Every structure is written in C-alpha cells, then in structure tokens.
Amino acid sequence: MAAVLPDLSAGQWLCVLLAAAFVGLSKTGVPGAGVVIVPLMAVAFSGRSSPGALLPMLLVGDLFAVGWYRRHTRWPILAGLAPWVLLGVAAGAATLWWMGASAGLSRAVERLIALLVLAMVALHLLRRRLGDRLQPHSLAGRALAGGAAGYATTVSNAAGPVTNLYLAAAGIPKEEFMGTAAWFYLLFNLLKVPLFAWLSWLQPQAPMITASSLAMNALAAPAILVGALLGRAVFRRLSQAWFEDLVIGLATATCVYLLLR
C-alpha cells in the first residue's frame, strides 16, 4: 500500500484524518458538523481530485448512519426528492465534464449553494412565525432543493446544507431526520462512484478517483469510526429542540464560511 499512497506532508495527513473524524461525527449525530470537511480535504487534494478523494470516506460514514438509523426513514420524502436530485446529478456531471479541472468551478458552486441555503434558512425561520403559509415541501420546493442538492453533491460534495435544511423544515423527529438523511446520502453517493470513474476515464489527465486516494481512504477509516461513535453518543443527549437549532445554526455557519473563504 505504501507504494500507492499519495505524497502528503504530515500536516496534510492531519487534515485528512480530521476530515475523516468529522465525516463520522456529521453522519451519525451532528448534521452540519461537516462544515470543515471540504476545506480540510482541499488542503490535501487540489482541484476536482478533492471530491473524488472524499467520496469513499463519505460512503463509509453513510454505512454507519444507515446501520444505526435505517428503521427511522421517511421514504415518501426521499421519493419526492429523488427525480430532482437525479436531474441535479446529471447537470453536475455535465458541468464537471465541460469544465474539466477548473479550480474555480467548485468555489462558484459553493457560493451559489450558500446563497440558496441562507434563503432557505430565512424561509424556515419565517415559517416558524407564519406557519404553513410558507410551505417548503411544495412541488417547486422539492424541485429546487432536490436539484440543488444533486448538483452540489456532484460538483463539490456540498449538498449537506440544502438537504439538512429541507429535512429540518419537514418538522420530523430527529431519529427520522437521521434515518432519511442516511439513506439519501448513501444512495446518491453510491451513484457518484461509477459517475466519477467515468469522468476519470474521459479525462485521465484530471482523475477524480485514483489508487493513491483509495489507499489513503483505507488508512483514514479508523478515524471515521471514532467520529461515528462520538456522533452517536452526542445524538443521544440532544433534545429535539436543540437538534433542530443545531442543524439550522451549523447550516448558516457553513454558508457564511463558504461565502467568505
């Protein structure tokens, strides 16, 4: 394995392991705690290789989440989002193919998603005052949230704020939030594996998944487990009200960071 490991400095390896721990934490107990994952991975992997290097780590975290929360899933919510997410994934794949290894692409998408999510936060807070007069789960709301999540997850693994806010607006119990999110991320992250492999084959000069990145993922797996166990312990101690406020607060902080960085 040493022969195919990426040539990373000690500081870059530290960023990878911290990102892995936060993957586990965000998947099993603290949605939105992944605010630091993308920038940490960007330190170790530049350009579009960063989403490809991160994807296997996300899948490992998804497996922990599904294992713990699979019985608390709101399948109708997923079914309503799925067609629009698939359209967003297709648009994201086309953008990656067209833009190639452009470093500015992911930054532009992150800022666009940040603005969208901040608007969703404002609507969610207004809905607390105005009730169902502001209903985010209309056809237009599902199309906007699903399309944005699919596009963002394909281009820069940045679907978290959109998905988390959409589920928070549903007003479902925290266990159902986690179960629905767990299956959402697992299914659509699995879809990205052949997609990223195909894009790597089309543009071998800028591969998204490589043997060295997979070897790095294997070494980072224990850190994901540590984060997942910590997330599970934190989740059990969070009340429903604290959980919802934490989701909204972390999503807002993520968006502010994406706009300013």
- What is the model's pLDDT at position 82? 92
Contact 146, 84 (CB under 8 A): yes
The pLDDT of residue 140: 77
pLDDT value at residue 134: 43
For residue 55, which amino acid is it? L
CA distances from 170 to 15, 130, 139 (A): 34, 15, 14
Helix ranges restricted to H, the chain? 10-28, 37-44, 49-69, 75-99, 103-130, 139-156, 160-169, 174-202, 211-236, 240-260
- What gap in Å lies between CA 77 and CA 73, rounded to an integer? 9
Range of the domain at 70: 2-260
- At residue 179, the pLDDT reads 93
Q: Which two tokens stand for residue 209?
A: 């998944």
- pLDDT tens digits in sequence order for the chain, 261 residues long: 454 776 777 888 888 898 899 899 989 988 877 767 777 777 677 656 777 888 999 999 999 999 999 899 999 999 999 999 999 999 988 887 776 655 566 666 667 666 766 766 676 666 556 555 445 567 877 888 888 889 888 877 777 777 887 888 788 888 999 999 999 999 999 998 998 888 888 877 777 788 888 888 899 999 999 999 998 998 888 787 777 777 777 767 767 776 776
At 28, list the tokens. 């099993």
CB atoms within 10 A of CB 212: 19
The span from the CA of 152 to the CA of 145, in Å, is 10
Residues 6 or more apart in contact with residue 108 via CB below 8 angstroms: none
pLDDT of residue 201: 84
Rounded Cα–Cα distance for residues 141 and 233 (Å): 33
> What distances in angstroms separate CA 13 from CA 19, 39, 174, 223, 241, one per listed residue?
10, 14, 33, 12, 37
The pTM of the full predicted model, rounded to 2 decimals, is 0.80
* 130: its two tokens: 């105005």
- The structural domain count of the chain equals 1
Q: Which residue in 165, 125, 129 sits closest to 145, CA to CA? A: 165
- Rounded to whole angstroms, the Cα distance separating 144 from 119 reads 12
What is the per-residue pLDDT for 126? 64
Model pLDDT, residue 202:
80
The confidence score (pLDDT) of residue 37 equals 78
| Dist. CA 86–CA 146, nearest whole Å | 8
Q: Report CA torsion sign: 61, 67, 72, 77.
A: positive
CA distance 237 to 46: 37
Q: What is the pLDDT of residue 133?
A: 46
Determine contact, residues 19/8, Cβ cutoff 8 Å.
no
Per-residue pLDDT, 190: 93
129-137, long-range: CB within 8 Å, 24+ apart, which pairs? 136/166, 136/169, 137/80, 137/169, 137/170
The tokens describing 31, both together, are 């949605």
